[in-house]
Amino acid sequence: DGGITQSPKYLFRKEGQNVTLSCEQNLNHDAMYWYRQDPGQGLRLIYYSQIVNDFQKGDIAEGYSVSREKKESFPLTVTSAQKNPTAFYLCASSSGRPMSTEAFFGQGTRLTVV
């Protein structure tokens, strides 16, 4: 079945650690995105990529990094510079402009700092 797979579903991070969230899609989509969701908040854009080997910062990129070495993969690293990383992280993909920007989402990773 086509879709977007995020792993792990739950992740615990100690203070000062870097952690990497995985996102893989088999929809043959060009564009991929990372959003952060805090309780009672909408989704805020962290990074996005329209094509392999290229990505742009979103609204809250500080303390995060990404790579896009393969079309199907867009991992997100939460670095120790991110002071408040506890949140629900959602990865999405779309065909991209000019075709479609309708985003399809993975099941999310819930990150908690311990």
In the complex, the residues that contact other proteins under the rule CB under 8 A are 31, 33, 35, 40-45, 48, 50, 56, 58, 90, 92, 96-97, 101-108
Spacing of C-alpha 73 from chain mean position: 10
Closer residue to other proteins (CB): 77 or 95: 95
- The answer to whether 17 and 80 have CB atoms below 8 angstroms apart is yes
Closer residue to other proteins (CB): 78 or 90: 90
Name the amino acid, one letter, at 73.
S
Closer residue to other proteins (CB): 53 or 107: 107
| Burial class (CB within 10 angstroms; exposed 0-12, middle 13-18, buried 19+) of 72 | middle
Smallest distance from other proteins to CB 49, Å:
10
